[in-house]
Amino acid sequence: MSGATDFDLFRTSEFHEELRAAVQDVVRDKIAPYAAAVDEEARYPQEAHDALVASDFFAPHVPEEYGGVGADALATCIVIEEVARADASASLIPAVNKLGSLPVMLGASEEVKQRYLPPLARGEAGFSYGLSEREAGSDTASMKCRARRDGDDWVLNGQKSWITNAGVSEYYTVLAVTDPDGPRGNNVSAFVVEKSDAGFTFGEKERKLGIKGSPTRELHFDNCRIPGDRIVGAEGDGLKIALRTLDHTRVTIGAQAVGIAQGALDHALAYVKERKQFGKHIADFQGIQFMLADMAMELEAARTMVYVAAAKSERGDADLSFFGAAAKCFASDVAMKITTDAVQLLGGAGYTRDFPLERMMRDAKITQIYEGTNQVQRIVMARQLLKG
């Protein structure tokens, strides 16, 4: 997929649209049929996992030199968007694989990249991201997880909370304080932890409102010893790498939100064209038409913001922090509004599990919360504005 990075800010290339069609085929045949059961049973979407691996959409962002297909930022967003259109839980597989591995791509040694990126590219191992803690959510610099040197090794103690696909992924990028007396924010380092490492365990699965197919668990470290060469970047650079990562991956959450919103609009449109009241299809009522127009208008604005942010992510533009936060914030707010309106358009039917709208509404909510709440996104944007 390399060589497809020169795209117009406001128009996708022929390559990107061919990719979209390919993802849609996989979603229609291998992911959408299981989405309701995945939610109902709160189980990992293994069918989607297998289909994504088979089609090279499991971790499309991994560069070709590490055995990946080298999808650019927009291509990766399109994969996530189209999967989320049918199943938000399944869309977290490529999204979190990028989130977990991007710190390695941005800051790790070549040796670490060669060790961990090829298995991810082949679909042999997923990659999760361990930043948040119970008392360190938005305030990441207040984390308590510690890593201390012991000879050539590092020993981790502490916990991480709200970790997506925990227990399924083989690899975890974990942030820990390496200099308790050092300056706040510059005393954190990043490490790769493997699922099989002694002293590394998982908490119980969280019982969640939505994205029930994606397991969310705590990570627990009890004298977890890892080799010294698993550090990602220089000692003390962990939080800088983590925040750089989020600048890029917030765009993928925007893409997920756009996909959820598009799926909801698709179902709402189909319903209002079939449902009759007062002797005609409810799509013929102007009040319904105005709702649909507003939903579509806001959706296309969100999609454009996400695609522009994806282009900036690919180029590494200086204003990515603003645009990544703006795309994630706006798209997730739009997804919440559109899914709520879609439930309303179906009336009582929308409130039942006979239709996927109530699931999409529940799934949309998390996009306003994870990878930085939308309140934090507004802080990020304001800081960028005030910097000039």
Show which residues are catalytic.
Answer: 371
In contact, 375 and 249? CB cutoff 8 Å: no
Q: From the CB of residue 219, how many other CB atoms can be counted at a distance below 10 Å? A: 25
Q: Residue 325: which residues within 8 A CB-CB, separation 6 or more?
A: 250, 372, 377, 378, 380, 381, 384
Q: Is 260 helix (H, G, I), strand (E, B) or coil?
A: helix
The distance from CA 303 to its chain's CA centroid, rounded to whole angstroms, is 16
d(CA 3, CA 297): 32
Q: How many angstroms separate the first and last alpha carbons of the chain?
A: 36
List all residues 6 or more positions away from 37 whose beta carbon is below 8 Å from its beta carbon: 43
CA distance linking residue 85 with residue 293, whole number of Å: 19
Q: Are 46 and 97 in contact (CB under 8 A)?
A: no
Token representation of residue 263: 């799926």
Instruction: Looking at the chain, list the stretches that DSSP marks H as alpha helix, in order from N- to C-terminal side.
Output: 14-26, 35-41, 46-54, 73-84, 88-107, 110-122, 238-274, 286-315, 320-346, 357-366, 374-387
Half-sphere exposure of 304 (CA within 13 A, CB side): 8
**In 3D, which of 148, 263, 147, 164 has the Cα closest to residue 212?**
164
